[in-house]
Amino acid sequence: MDGKTDNRKKNVPGMKLEIKHKPREHTAQTPAPSLLSAQGVVTEQTGGIVVEWGTDAPKALTDAEIKAVRAAGFRPFKAEAVKALMGHKTCSEIVRHFKGRRGFSASTVRHIHAALAASK
């Protein structure tokens, strides 16, 4: 190495590598609702039976949720975006969903999620 000393550790016989951390347990993400997993309601109509699925459209924020979000220091339009995902995603999945989006940092999403969950 051109006369320079090699500061890397040499492989010493009898030396053991000890790992002190525990491996993380991976949990499966909750899948988004689909027509195959949706709970239907059977209704009778003329000439047959029809299964109708309700819509999972995001509902508007209630007055209590708006007050809780504003008390936490955030605007309600951000809370509507977070609430739309709260039905089928966990808080950490929502944080990953908004990663890199301006105005939706990880701490902002966590605080809005906590305010919405506490207002129920």
- Report the predicted TM-score, pTM, of the whole model to 2 decimal places: 0.54
In a domain, residue 8? The reply is: no
Mind listing the pLDDT tens digit for each residue in 9-23? 566 666 676 767 666
Show the domain range for 100: 58-118
| Overall domain count for the chain | 1
pLDDT of residue 36: 60
pLDDT at 38 over 60: no
pLDDT in tens, 78-110: 999 999 898 888 999 999 999 999 999 999 999
Q: What pLDDT does 119 receive?
A: 87
CB 74 within 8 A of CB 108: yes
Distance CA 89, CA 30 (A): 6
User: Is residue 86 in a domain?
Assistant: yes
Q: Which structure tokens are listed for 114?
A: 């906590």
